[in-house]
Structure 1
Amino acid sequence: MTLPEPLAETAGRALRALLEREHATRPELADALRVTKQTVSAAIVELEERGLVEAVAVQQGHTGRSAVRYGLHRSAGWVAGIDLGSARLRVAAARLDGTVVAERLVPNPAPTVSRDWPDQLEVAAHALADVAQELSESQGGLLGAAIAVPRAVPVRRDLLGSDADDERLLAALAPVAPAAVWTENDVNCEAIAQLRYRPGSAPRSVLHLHIGAGVGVALIVEGTILRGARGRAGEIKALASPIARGRTVEDALSIAGLLDAAGHSPAAPLPGALDDLFAAATTGDSAAESAIADEATGIVLLLRDLTAVVDPDLVVLSGALGARRELHGRVVAECRRLGVEPVPAEDPLGDAAPVLGAASLAADLVLDAIAPVR
């Protein structure tokens, strides 16, 4: 399979305008695109022939004349986001406008701080095939998939349409045969999700700090994810530890670093290991209390340095450790004590953020292929 052929310029612009507005009439599109009604009519015909838009309602005007409203066709196709998390695997299917139409969650039967999960890709392929079967009649075909992975992605490219060397990944997904497959860093996917799915208006700049099995940052600047020249923007794990434990940020502040500092086994199953640690702190365990206090201080010192460079509108804490309410409250209090701004916000998307961001990315990349911005 290959991605659909690009639309003519006006048809592509009309499709993007419809996706932004959910639905619109031909006169509304003509005004938005600053073209004639005849030009828009030709574009709508092309979009209808391609199965991308359809009439969704008839609007009665004040003069008694009716106008047809157009929207994304119910069978225009869909994209998939896949999150290869260490604790659970998620698949989300979304329409080209980002509307999620199906989800699957498969818990890791033995989650630990290790990111290795035997047969993870095969499980992902099975879940994706299950979703594809569910949606084949109602939503059309699978147009592409994006996978959130816990590593830097030097070049974002279609793995099916290039000389990719990730044979293990492609072999697992081949039976499902999407038109295109991309990978993106999982923390970048979390930040991308903030732009499309976070309630309220989308922030222009976000610093997204993920603390879990690993530590990483994603940056959104002026509404665009900052990937860097080699895809390594936000790869902060090797920075010097901000507190007197561990050599690097990841040594000190990851789940394993916190558990080890508290005298708990870093190899214990999750999330029980973290539950036990925070419970111990509330019952007077001084080692647990001290380790958690140091964790909060370390996060704030790290944020102080990062925000001094980026000065974001919003800071979001995420990850199996960073998103814990007990830790978040301590981080907020420490930020206020040290005068660090902005104070980190909780992530309303929770652990669904990586898969939602991957689905959003896939939708955008497919749309770039169908309706390129010229």
Structure 2
Amino acid sequence: MTDHLPLTSPQDPKPGSQSALRHRNEQLIVATLRELGPLPQAELARTTGLSTATVSNIVKSMCAEGLAHTSPTTSSGRRALAVSLLESPHVVVGIDFGRSHVRIVLASADHQVRAEKSAPLPVGHLATESIATAATMLADALAESGISRSDVMGAGIGVPGPIDHRTGTVIRGAILPEWVGVNIVARLEEALGMPVFADNDANLGALAQVTWGEHSAVRDLVFLKIGSGIGAGLILNGAPYYGHTGITGEIGHATIFDQGLVCRCGNRGCLETVASTALMIELLSRGEPRPLTVQDIIARATSGDAAALRVIDDAGMAVGRAVANVANMINPEIIVVGGPLAALGHILLDPIRRGLTRHAVPAIGEATTVVMSSLGDRAEVLGAVSLALNHTRKH
């Protein structure tokens, strides 16, 4: 029998590692027991497709961790051990800070969401104020769900910008310039009173696709978040790719036009200056009595408004051109598009595909699938949950 592909492990230096494989298989066993109830180990192996030795070893570890227990039973007239799940009180928290929102999810080790909250934040919000808001929301979520703070093992944090993983500091290029230079890890550990693990929102979106989405078997994936900023998260050989300092996937700062607008990063003609939702809002709000919102743009495009369709088509082609360079370099199996424009579906995907196939090596462009994320605006916070789970499992 063939065991399933490994689960990604953020910042794991060994893609496709045995620990990642073991975690993926444990998830499969937990899901099977949750759906079917107690099962003999042999039946559990047949149902999951895992080898009997793999099931035996994982069940033994789960029992030691208090996640399962075994009891004598009979199977096909023979003595056997039935495996049952034990519900653990432990949870982790995922927090996604956006340009104008904060979202929190509490989830258990078997990926069951126990509580979820979101709140708007003012554009240009300061780290101190936003962290205080998140801490209050977490306290409320714990109280409402009856979960003790002592049962929270740690928190995964997502921010819309690059983080230097050596220092835990937000660096220049973030959508939240007010957060640049902030040691987000230290600040949140102090505010929340628990271990904190932080990452860029696009990286967490990619992690969510292979832990919560339908792409768990994909080994090479690009998650492309298109919003006020544009970023890419990379899954290579079954694990997130972080590079030397943890700053990867900054596709929003790929130069598209040498003589284009000056970008917030200091360069000129970056992808974000021609394809972000901020640029779309600016273009389509001209002559309007009030600035449009992303939802306004989606509504106009889906109703066939020519100006909205043209702006989205131009943006999609530019994104496709930029992502073609990434595809030529790493040859991903799938590109998943997420962010606030996900409701546009093929209206945005079609020009991205055209840009990709026009500028990628033909064999790569034709073999790369481009789809919308099924996780919607929850992708980043669910990825933050997975980040926390992967780190707390190591301790």
* Fold shared per TM-score above 0.5: yes
Which residue of 218, 229, 232 maps to 2:233? 218
Q: Deviations over 1:37-69 (max 9, x none)?
A: 9x987x67743xxxx324377754121635231
Structure 1 distance, partners of 2:212, 2:24, is 18
1:231 paired with 2:252, answer no
1:308 paired with 2:331, answer no
**What does residue 252 of structure 1 align with?**
274
Q: Larger deviation: 355-364 or 88-97? A: 88-97
Structure 1 distance, partners of 2:23, 2:254, is 44
Which residue of 9, 26, 29 maps to 1:21? 29
CA contact (8 A) 2:117 2:137 kept: yes
CA contact (8 A) 1:243 1:294 kept: no
Which residue of 132, 141, 147 maps to 1:131? 141
* Structure 1 residue identity aligned to 2:103: R
Shift of 1:177: 2.2
CA contact (8 A) 2:324 2:357 kept: no
State TM-score, norm by structure 1.
Answer: 0.75
**What does residue 386 of structure 2 align with?**
360
* Structure 1 residue identity aligned to 2:381: V
Shift of 1:152: 1.5
Secondary structure in 1 matching 2:143 = helix
1:147 paired with 2:157, answer yes
Shift of 1:291: 2.6
**Within-5 A mapping of 1:96-245:** 96-108=109-121, 119-136=129-146, 141-155=151-165, 166=182, 170=186, 174=190, 176-178=192-194, 180-199=195-214, 201-241=216-256
Q: Cα–Cα, structure 1 residues 248 and 157, in superposed 2: closer, same or farther, change >3 Å?
A: closer
Shift of 1:354: 0.1
CA contact (8 A) 1:149 1:186 kept: yes
Structure 1 distance, partners of 2:353, 2:168, is 44
Q: Cα–Cα, structure 1 residues 328 and 243, in superposed 2: closer, same or farther, change >3 Å?
A: farther
Q: Cα–Cα, structure 1 residues 318 and 46, in superposed 2: closer, same or farther, change >3 Å?
A: closer
* Structure 1 residue identity aligned to 2:29: R
**What does residue 372 of structure 1 align with?**
none
CA contact (8 A) 2:253 2:270 kept: yes
* Structure 1 residue identity aligned to 2:332: P
Q: Cα–Cα, structure 1 residues 127 and 173, in superposed 2: closer, same or farther, change >3 Å?
A: farther
Secondary structure in 2 matching 1:220 = strand
* Structure 2 residue identity aligned to 1:271: V
**What does residue 76 of structure 2 align with?**
62
Could you tell me the percent identity over the aligned residues? 23
Which residue of 75, 80, 92 maps to 2:88? 75
Secondary structure in 2 matching 1:237 = helix
* Structure 2 residue identity aligned to 1:223: G
Q: Deviations over 1:172-191 (max 9, x none)?
A: 6646422x111111000000
Secondary structure in 1 matching 2:393 = helix
* Structure 1 residue identity aligned to 2:53: A
Structure 2 distance, partners of 1:224, 1:360, is 13
Shift of 1:25: 5.7
Secondary structure in 2 matching 1:300 = helix
Q: Deviations over 1:84-112 (max 9, x none)?
A: 1224321111222323222112234x5x6
* Structure 1 residue identity aligned to 2:134: A
Q: Deviations over 1:132-188 (max 9, x none)?
A: 2344559970000010111222227899xxxxx95677556646422x111111000
CA contact (8 A) 1:187 1:208 kept: yes
CA contact (8 A) 2:353 2:370 kept: no
Structure 1 distance, partners of 2:212, 2:23, is 21
**What does residue 162 of structure 1 align with?**
none
Q: Deviations over 1:215-253 (max 9, x none)?
A: 111111011011110111111232212598531111111
Structure 1 distance, partners of 2:134, 2:55, is 44
Q: Cα–Cα, structure 1 residues 137 and 153, in superposed 2: closer, same or farther, change >3 Å?
A: closer
Shift of 1:274: 2.9
Structure 2 distance, partners of 1:238, 1:56, is 54
**What does residue 344 of structure 1 align with?**
370
**What does residue 274 of structure 1 align with?**
297
Number of equivalent positions: 337
Structure 2 distance, partners of 1:15, 1:284, is 49
Structure 1 distance, partners of 2:149, 2:84, is 17
Structure 1 distance, partners of 2:208, 2:114, is 16
CA contact (8 A) 2:285 2:292 kept: no
Q: Cα–Cα, structure 1 residues 145 and 156, in superposed 2: closer, same or farther, change >3 Å?
A: farther
Structure 1 distance, partners of 2:214, 2:378, is 14
Secondary structure in 1 matching 2:279 = helix
Shift of 1:75: 2.8
